[in-house]
Amino acid sequence: MALSSAFEYAPAPESRSVVDIAPSYGLFIDGEFTEAADGKVFKTVSPSTEEVLSEVARAGTADVDRAVQAARKAFTKWSALPGSERAKYLFRIARIIQERSRELAVLETLDNGKPIKETRDTDLPLVAAHFFYYAGWADKLSHAGFGANPRPLGVAGQVIPWNFPLLMLAWKIAPALATGNTVVLKPAETTPLSALFFADICRQAGLPKGVVNILPGYGDAGAALVEHPDVNKVAFTGSTAVGKAIARSVAGTDKKVTLELGGKGANIVFDDAPVDQAVEGIVTGIFFNQGQVCCAGSRLLVQESVQEEVVDALKRRLATLRLGDPLDKNTDIGAINSAEQLARIQKLADTGEAEGAERWSPACELPTSGYWFAPTVFTGVTQAHTVARDEIFGPVLSVLSFRTPDEAVAKANNTQYGLSAGIWTEKGSRILAVANKLRAGVVWANTFNKLDPTSPFGGYKESGYGREGGRHGLEAYLAPSSPEGKR
């Protein structure tokens, strides 16, 4: 159902017929799909309808060992290829992703719950762009600033989240392959399908067996992968709690690690900001992908003199958003990814209300099946409120006010996280002055949630360490190790 709107839209559904989902999928190890060693499986469901999409093999410790062995075996030949030859495979993968982008966008929307216009217009173009970008680096590594003859590390164990399943895969796999590493990747248990379709793309591209291995499974498989003694590099995107556990488990080893964790980004609106433009940026910052974004602008800091004007304009804009079928091209707000995540959002929102913050949502009739949460704004929020401190990972915005730039910076930095921030003002000097004081890995100016493969991404404090994307993203996969990649 749509939120209340001045306009009526006819349904504009994207056809499901463009994607053929098999009733079951195996693990992808050494170039082949195979059952789990213990025969375990799990079901993946569509968050918008709770329909079972497919049954997927569940990886265990024995499967992780098989996959790492396959990746280790493939590493010898893959790392010995000239960079220009590895680039050909990456270019081929990028082109196939473009050719199959409509199919993959529908698949991602079905399995994740986000609107088709986001998977179609944002996720898939960025996925292809990352493979194109790192393909260009593959034969130029000596000029990347990491030494005259940088070497790959060996086997990369990669664990990705459910909010951007295919995009996070691209962030991890593209630089790993470009630098000559081989990969074992575990997708999230609620969104395994696009990674398994990517496995098919690897075969379609003729990628040598064992270079990429895909292991759907639960946290135990991820832990086994991180702790495997023959994994040289660990890359993780997900919760801060799991990131801390990974950091503890690899302590004392020589594994190279990058962690991209939670966030509680501040979106700062000054009194000279163009209000309508800022409101669009606020909406993109927190309601894109239902707020299930680590770098979401979930704390809105508004200069006191324009707070009422900005909040009123924001509420008017939210009343025009459309919530409903993610496959409808008019939909702005899709489904929450899982029942577990929906329960967490509901609990934290109820806590905000119980603590005295004023809760508001536009008039909204939620679908009767699936996992849904109306866009929500909290005003009257202080820095002591739970909704201003904890990462909610949902379509929930907390509004705070400030009087001076110094107060804005102090409030923005008053968090255990440090992943993202936004600044809205017409003064370039103010943008530079404030951005230099913010402890955030990414600071956007008069925009928000704009990502590019050429630009590094990562955080400070409990948002993790290391950078992905850009030239900086190569460093995590390179070291002056032996050509064989042995540690």
Q: Which residues are catalytic?
A: 260, 294
- Look at residues 74, 401, 51, 410 and name the one whose alpha carbon lies nearest to residue 211: 74
Beta strands in 118-252 (DSSP E): 151-152, 155-159, 182-186, 212-214, 233-237
Looking from the CA of 151 toward its CB, the CA atoms found within 13 Å total 16
Q: 2 has which bridge partners?
A: 322
Burial class (CB in 10 A: 0-12, 13-18, 19+), 52: exposed
- Look at residues 425, 449, 122 and name the one whose alpha carbon lies nearest to residue 277: 425
Q: 88 has which bridge partners?
A: none
The contacts of residue 109 (CB under 8 Å, 6+ apart) are 14, 115, 116, 119, 326, 327, 334
Question: In whole angstroms, what is the distance from residue 1 CA to residue 4 CA?
Answer: 9
Residue matched to tokens 């050719």 = 99
Neighbours of 139 (CB within 10 A): 15
- What value, to the nearest 5°, has the Cα angle with vertex 242 and ends 179 and 162? 70
Pairing of strands 151-152, 478-479: antiparallel
Neighbours of 77 (CB within 10 A): 12
CB 321 within 8 A of CB 4: no
- The encoded tokens of residue 230 equal 């023959």
Beta strands in 208-333 (DSSP E): 212-214, 233-237, 256-260, 266-269, 299-303
Residue matched to tokens 């370039």 = 428
CB 278 within 8 A of CB 311: no
Question: In whole angstroms, what is the distance from residue 242 CA to residue 231 CA?
Answer: 18
CB 199 within 8 A of CB 170: no
Q: What are the φ/ψ torsions at residue 277 (nearest 5 degrees)?
A: -65, -40
